[in-house]
Amino acid sequence: MRATLMYGAGDVRVEKVPDSVIKQPTDALVRVTAACICGSDLWPYASMKPEDGPARVGHEFLGVVEATGPEVTTVKPGDLVVAPFAISDNTCEFCREGLHTSCSNPQAGFWDGEAEEGGQAQAVRVPLADGTLVKLPVAADSALIPSLLTLSDVFGTGYHAAVVGGVNERTRVTVIGDGAVGLLAVLSAQRLGAEQIILMGRHPARTDLGRAFGATDVVSARGEEGVAAVRALTGGHGAHVVIEAVGTMPAYEQACGIVRPGGVISRVGAPQYEEAPVGFGSLFRHNIRLAGGPAPVRAYIEELMPGILDGTMEPGRVFDAVTDLDGVPAGYQDMADRRSLKVLVKP
Amino acid sequence: MRATLMYGAGDVRVEKVPDSVIKQPTDALVRVTAACICGSDLWPYASMKPEDGPARVGHEFLGVVEATGPEVTTVKPGDLVVAPFAISDNTCEFCREGLHTSCSNPQAGFWDGEAEEGGQAQAVRVPLADGTLVKLPVAADSALIPSLLTLSDVFGTGYHAAVVGGVNERTRVTVIGDGAVGLLAVLSAQRLGAEQIILMGRHPARTDLGRAFGATDVVSARGEEGVAAVRALTGGHGAHVVIEAVGTMPAYEQACGIVRPGGVISRVGAPQYEEAPVGFGSLFRHNIRLAGGPAPVRAYIEELMPGILDGTMEPGRVFDAVTDLDGVPAGYQDMADRRSLKVLVKP
């Protein structure tokens, strides 16, 4: 079979690899029919050292079950399924609390931590198939596939940001970042009824989509100027909930600048820093809370799917390019250069 | 009148100062009948530079109203009142949300920011008296005075830590720090029904009081050993809520080590650092939340007072020494040397 490998920064290749096969009785083998490139894939694409490669890549996919191990009971060959970016058993105490990204099963983890599997490929061995996979009630060629594919990561991640931020009808929300996660955080905040949704981004095609998803205001300025603009839009005090969907220190500092006293900074952009200001001068003085982490998207699939199936939500609009497996390396470069917002891959 | 002034690290003096007087129509003049020394007063006592002094000190007091400005309506001369450590109008949008420490009134702020007033004194001019002061339905010589005095800071601060941590009947709580705030966080967690309350502290007289307040376990070890002990006591996964009532980096790091995935670190020890680990290796990976800040104790006074008046809660047990104004300098040293847990001052 063929799969995508990252050899180092800027070096992505599609190559022949050993076929994925069932290894554990709880595995399923999935033929990938739709996958995508994630904004978080761009971090290693920008910085990966050759000695850390080659690594299989891709953590967002859906496809058709080809085979299952003898202990798998919830999916069967022929089923169309979506896989969250984290493998989980859906039964441990953390999964039962909806925190599937902290599943305590020894086989649990992130696709990015699996040495011999990756979503940007023709097939994937899925561990803990009963816990990880969710059956989709449509055909593999349904027009809803792009939207259903976002349940594997970006929609659930944007929704997680809004949920742990505590968005409700009384909250003013600011979303930092106009990537797919930021835009779907806008859609999520809109779904949760936010009073005001300010999107901070500087790519008009993206912020236009943000407006379509429910953004009430767009701020293209950054830094101090951006902070001042958001404060002006929020009556001077800042936003109740700031969703930080970038992951850089400037984005964190911007969040500190625009969050309201007593408010929440909800982070879902994987932080590219370990230390950050949290003391009296940043979070503590005004009881600012910090929340977020890798989204347990598995917990949200059943909740978000009906709105996709009935057409009231179209998160798949974040895809602005489609390619086959051969086009994946160019897709990375297009996303790195901001020519593409998000690339859908049909292996 | 006489008041306490800090001249620098280790240098506290009681001196004659100009009488406090009404200056604004919203002021009240309060004759202090009980005050105390706070654990947070020990930070400047340890490090204050002489060029920053002399400064009036003390932010916890209760006393009798002697006079009021013409706009004051809720308290009158002769009333016994308690003053929270933050001045607030109790009417702005933040006060209405219960975040009095972020009151937007220009006269609002902390006693420690008032140049010419302080609680460790014979009298205090209280700005925004209607918002700041709360009448106490007892006499100035009531046996309940020590407990009612804790409503000015330490009880409300411990309670805030538990509330913003989300303590309920299903939570395992760990409290780092056996000072007055830590002990009253234990009492607060007990009041909120916590399933388990682990107190980390190494002073037996204090941890014994912690047990009386509801601690189910005491861990005297610190660092890695302390982390391992708490994990063993919590089924291996750590505590749902960690209340950090110290404010140092080792205490923060300890909190990161013992908090459960999806849990909360609730800080009420004023942080003696600005930067701290918050990235993938500390908070982010397991969706750990960070909460806390200066407690809006004004918001909790009406809620906590009945339990004191009916004798079901005795937060005043944190006082283990009583002195007059002349004894304040020695009281600071006693607290710094851990000879006293908390010193009550009767000016």
Interface test with B, best of A102, A159, A163, A264 (most B CBs within 10 A): A102
Token pair belonging to A96: 């039962």
pLDDT at residue B114 tops 90:
no
* Backbone φ, ψ for residue A162 (5° rounding): -70, -40
Other CB atoms within a 10 A radius of the CB of residue A236 amount to 9
Other CB atoms within a 10 A radius of the CB of residue B299 amount to 22
* Backbone φ, ψ for residue A154 (5° rounding): -65, -35
Interface test with B, best of A240, A253, A287 (most B CBs within 10 A): A287
The residues with which B12 forms a beta bridge, in sequence order, are: B6
Comparing CB atoms, the residue among A271, A291, A294 nearest residue B279 is: A271
B293/A274 CB distance under 8 A: no
DSSP-derived letter for residue A221 is: -
Name the CA radius of gyration of chain B, rounded.
Answer: 20
Beta pairing, strands B259-267 & B239-244: parallel
Judged by a CB distance cut-off of 8 A, whether residue B294 touches chain A is yes
List CB contacts of A259: < 8 A, sequence separation 6 or more: A238, A239, A242, A265, A288
The residues with which B275 forms a beta bridge, in sequence order, are: A277
Task: Give residue A82's pLDDT.
Answer: 98
Interface contacts A/B by beta carbons within 8 Å: 115
pLDDT digits (tens, 9 = 90+) for B150-186: 999 999 999 999 999 999 999 999 999 999 999 999 9
Name the closest residue on chain B to residue A266, using Cα atoms: B289
A274/B276 CB distance under 8 A: no
Token pair belonging to B4: 């306490």
Is-cis flag, bond preceding A54, omega within 30? yes
Contact B94, B102 (CB under 8 A): yes
Judged by a CB distance cut-off of 8 A, whether residue A164 touches chain B is yes
Chain B, residues 242-281, CB within 8 A of chain A, namely: 261-262, 267, 270-271, 273-281
pLDDT digits (tens, 9 = 90+) for B23-33: 999 999 999 99
pLDDT at residue B228 tops 90:
yes
pLDDT in tens, chain A (347 residues): 999 999 999 999 999 999 999 999 999 999 999 999 999 999 999 999 999 989 999 999 999 999 999 999 999 999 999 999 999 999 999 999 999 999 999 999 998 888 899 999 999 999 999 999 999 999 999 999 999 999 999 999 999 999 999 999 999 999 999 999 999 999 999 999 999 999 999 999 999 999 999 999 999 999 999 999 999 999 999 999 999 999 999 999 999 999 999 999 999 989 999 999 999 999 999 999 999 999 999 999 999 999 999 999 999 999 999 999 999 999 999 999 999 999 999 99
Token pair belonging to B274: 């600005």
The owner of tokens 């602005």 is A320
B276/A276 CB distance under 8 A: yes
A292/B273 CB distance under 8 A: no
B262/A288 CB distance under 8 A: no
Closest-CA distance of chain B to residue A100, Å? 10
Degrees (nearest 5) of the Cα angle B76, B80, B83? 95
B102/A288 CB distance under 8 A: no
Token pair belonging to B105: 């009134």
Instruction: For residue B237, list chain A residues with Cβ-Cβ distance below 8 A.
Output: 93, 104
Name the CA radius of gyration of chain A, rounded.
Answer: 20
Name the closest residue on chain A to residue B248, using Cα atoms: A279
What domains, with CATH codes, occur in chain A?
A: 2-153+296-345 (3.90.180.10), 157-292 (3.40.50.720)
Distances in whole angstroms, Cα of residue A271 to Cα of each of A46, A134, A250? 15, 28, 11
Comparing CB atoms, the residue among B274, B286, B294 nearest residue A279 is: B274
Alpha carbons A292 and A242: distance in angstroms, whole number? 11
A277/B274 CB distance under 8 A: yes
* Structure ipTM: 0.96
A271/B278 CB distance under 8 A: yes
The residues with which B344 forms a beta bridge, in sequence order, are: B36, B322
Other CB atoms within a 10 A radius of the CB of residue B335 amount to 23
Q: What SS3 state is found at A143?
A: coil
Length of chain B (residues): 347
